[in-house]
Amino acid sequence: MQTAEISRRYLDFFAERGHSVVPSASLVSDDPTVMFTIAGMVPFVPYLTGLVPPPWPRATSLQRCIRTNDIEEVGKTARHGTFFQMLGNWSFGDYFKEGAIEYAWDFLTKPEADGGLGFAERDLWVTVYEDDDEAAALWQRVAGLPAERIQRMGKADNYWHTGQPGPGGPCSEIYLDRGPAYGKDGGPIVDDDRFTEIWNLVFMQELLSDVRTKTDFDVAGPLPKKNIDTGMGLERVAMFKQGVENMYETDEVRPVLDLAGTMSGRRYGASHEDDVRMRVVADHVRSSLMLMMDGVSPSNEGRGYILRRLLRRSIRAMRLLGVEGPSFEHLFAASRDAMKASYPEVGSDYSHIEQLALGEEETFLRTLSAGTAILDVAVEQTKGSGAAKLPGDTAFLLHDTYGFPIELTLETAEEAGLDVDREAFDRLMGEQRSRAKADAKSKKRVLADRSVYAGFRAKGETVFRGYTELQADSEIIGLILDGAPVSRASAGQTVEVILTETSLYAEAGGQAPDRGTIVGDGFSLEVLDVQRPVKGLVSHTVRVASGEVGVGERATTIVDADYRRGATQAHSGTHIVHAALRQVLGPTAHQAGSFNKAGYLRLDFGWNKALSPETRTEIEEVSNLAVRDDLQVVTREMPLDEAKAMGAMALFGEKYGDVVRVVDIGGPWSRELCAGTHVSSSSEIGMINLVGESSVGASNRRVESLVGIEAFRQFAAERALVAELSRNLKARPEDLVDRIGELSANLKAAEKKIQAFEASALQGRVPELAGTAQRIGDTLLVARSLGSLGSADELRQLATGVRGQLQQERAVVALVADVGGKPVAIVATTQSARDGGANAGAIAKRMAGVLGGGGGGKPDLAQGGGSDLTAIPAALDAVRDELR
């Protein structure tokens, strides 16, 4: 049974039993404390915890998920995969234990011909919480399970909670017996390899008041409404229904695994190491495909860094399989074909996904070449110093800064006969992880407790009047000070204000929040920020400018009209620039992110090379022609499917509800889904002035533009600058380019003459320095402090010049100078001196130690430095001691 068929059967089964089929949420989590959707229940947490009233009494979904905490284990076991899909059904105060157990048993054991999965009843076992007699009895009565196939476990295994005060409850897990070939008999309590969990039913029935650990918490009492939350791993069920050994061999993953084998000339099943590599490729390519489908782009931070790591691990695995050239073009196409039965959008968005993947692959293959060059130098220096281990900080720098895999560093070092200081590397990696965890924990402490909004949200959604009105009369239903509700706030305090209605736009869709004020009888509030902390609720962060404000009072929200005008100009301008990009560059120039505020817009789009000045000018002209043509801007609300059918563009990675707002500019010329505020006709934008274009990743570019009056002010400033240059250079504006070019050429010629004079003066010192050579044993030594010099290059030229004068001798040259307030030392040796054992690298390192720093280099030429200028005489003495 194909994976897509299993999910179809599941959703149909629960839809027929009154469950609303909820589309999968994005892999990019709405929860600010986590980067990704890591479990099927994550999108339902606000409803399960009572933070937001559930829109349905019962629901079902297929949720795509990402977990990367065990990324190093991917491919090694049958259980570890970064991307997976969770089937689930939920009840919000509707049916409870009996209904959940009845549905689960019916779907699992119903014959395939009748729409079920057809598992044999004799192969199914369950576990229940140790004190949950009710669930154990229901499994016997509803499912007819014998008591010996119902096993009890403790809190660690069969009790669920969020880790914070709130709902919790026992759970019951369903296991499949895979047979004696997989382990010992006796149920899941004996062997969880043979008995594999396929479905978990959580019975949320208790309110927890204090949660100290997974197993240590206090129960305040029963929940007023009991909920059901279940989760069934789709890949695991597919594995059993398809008769394969692990998730990598299922129909949605195996095609990429097989292709990796074909491209490398390796056979899956012939070598454990190669099998692991093929599984890594198959898993990571699929995960990357799905992340990019949800709008994540490779980068060096956050979600983008996780994606980049997945892509680079895939490339690394292919290299270990013997494929050193590009492979993503074929691997991603195979993954697309395997996944589009479940996710048709992966096919329609594929051109953008492919562009991102191929761009990242090209960049990383270059990175591998650059990293190899850096590593080769580090290996040479390590061997030259006589050390047996490559420093851990070098390996960490390559890994952290250049993205060079530690496995490749280990392999290269081993080929050179060196070890890597893994202890130091692991310590640095541990410190980095600790910083990341501390940062995440800090963010979680600040943002996690959104329960403060639950009571306000229960009163209904905040009505937004700002599309048509700049003022809205409302009632204050809540005030929040330092995270806690209060009844009143006075002048000087900063608080959050919750209103029944508002005209102030909350930050969303790339548009910055409105500026404005909130006034009432005896108080005035300055609006600092407007956000949506939970779905349907608007929170206004304000400073109480005067008076005292209290819950229950009437208030009027007043939008700053000038700021709103600029914001609508910028947001409509963003749509126009996006349409102009696609007109000039083609449909692959798809928006990948945006930000706009009054007078300014920034737009990221899929493109893998810099725009030429001519192309930028063309995009700007197309944009301003659209402004000039006074195109009508029309907004409409309609069902999402209807909007897509009429060609409305859903921006890559954005989340949309069932009903969406469509913004047309010039009819179909620009038709996008957007909840922002807009002008009524394009001429109101005034002017679009592209002021910047830059790279924001291997396959993304960014354009920045000033809009409206800000665009005019920029042109006026540039006009004044041209006028000033014309006066100073006594040239007409149209002659400025030639005049500045002439001055620049004259300046460069003068600089060359000065450099020639300086070089000549520098070389004039060489004979005098060579003449100061002193014999120590059978070696001539030139050891001098030269005072202040402009650069280390000048010092190096003098050292090599003196060495050239003494080339026929057994000579060592050691020069020190003050360069920018710090001592720098250069050591050069002749061939005869090196034959006698002199090593410039070792000497420079010793001098640098005296100077309070570090150094080294090759035997013939090396450099060192430090921070203590007063130690220069001692450093020169150290050279003499070294030669003696």
> How do 389-390 and 217-233 pair as beta strands?
unpaired
Residue 23 CB neighbour total at 10 angstroms: 13
Dihedral over alpha carbons 713, 717, 722, 724 (to 10 degrees): 140
* Structure tokens that stand for 138 in this block: 């229901």
**How far apart are alpha carbons 257 and 505 in whole angstroms?**
48
Radius of gyration of the chain (CA): 34
What does the H/E/C string look like for 715-741?
HHHHHHHHHHHHHHHCCCHHHHHHHHH
Rounded Cα distance between 188 and 575, Å, is 57
Dist CA 351 CA 3 (whole Å):
25
511 CB neighbour count, 10 Å cutoff? 24
Q: What span, in angstroms and rounded, lies between the C-alpha atoms of 571 and 599? A: 10
Per the structure block, which two tokens stand in for 252? 């949605």
3-state secondary structure of 649: strand
Q: Is 399 annotated as a binding residue?
A: no
Q: Which residues neighbour 770 within 8 Å (Cβ) at sequence distance 6 or greater? A: 782, 802, 805, 806
Q: Is 80 annotated as a binding residue?
A: no
Q: In the chain, what's the furthest Cα-to-Cα distance?
A: 105
Residues 419 and 415: their CA atoms lie apart, in Å, by 10
Structure tokens at 178: 């895979």
Residue in 391, 301, 527, 267 with CA at minimum distance from that of residue 854: 391
Query: From CA 808, how far away is CA 804, in angstroms rounded?
Result: 8
Q: Which two tokens stand for residue 770?
A: 């060579």
The answer to whether 678 is annotated as binding is yes
Looking at residue 632, the DSSP 8-state letter turns out to be B
674 is in an annotated binding site: yes
- Mutual orientation of helices 350-384 and 406-415 as an angle, nearest 10°? 40
Report angle CA 480, 484, 487 to the nearest 5 degrees. 55
Distance CA 676, CA 171 (A): 43
Taking residue 587's Cβ as centre, other Cβ atoms within 10 Å add up to: 12
Give, for 539, the enclosing helix (H) or strand (E).
strand 537-550
Query: 487, 495 in Cβ contact below 8 A?
Result: no
Exposure string over 738-772, b if 16+ CB within 10 A, otherwise e: eeeeeeeeeeeeeeeeeeeeeeeebeeebeebbee
512: DSSP letter: P
Beta-carbon contacts of residue 252 (< 8 Å; ≥ 6 apart): 3, 4, 235, 238, 286, 338, 339, 342
Q: Which of 22, 60, 31, 303 is nearest to 163 (CA)?
A: 31
**Tokens representing 384?**
């030259």
d(CA 863, CA 855): 6
Cα(278)–Cα(70) distance, rounded to whole angstroms? 17
Q: Give the H or E element holding residue 602.
A: strand 600-606
Q: Rounded to the nearest 10 degrees, how much is the dihedral formed by the CA atoms of 716, 717, 718, 719?
A: 50
Half-sphere exposure of residue 715, counting CA atoms within 13 Å on the CB side? Answer: 13
Binding residues for Zn(2+): 571, 575, 674, 678
Binding residues: 571, 575, 674, 678
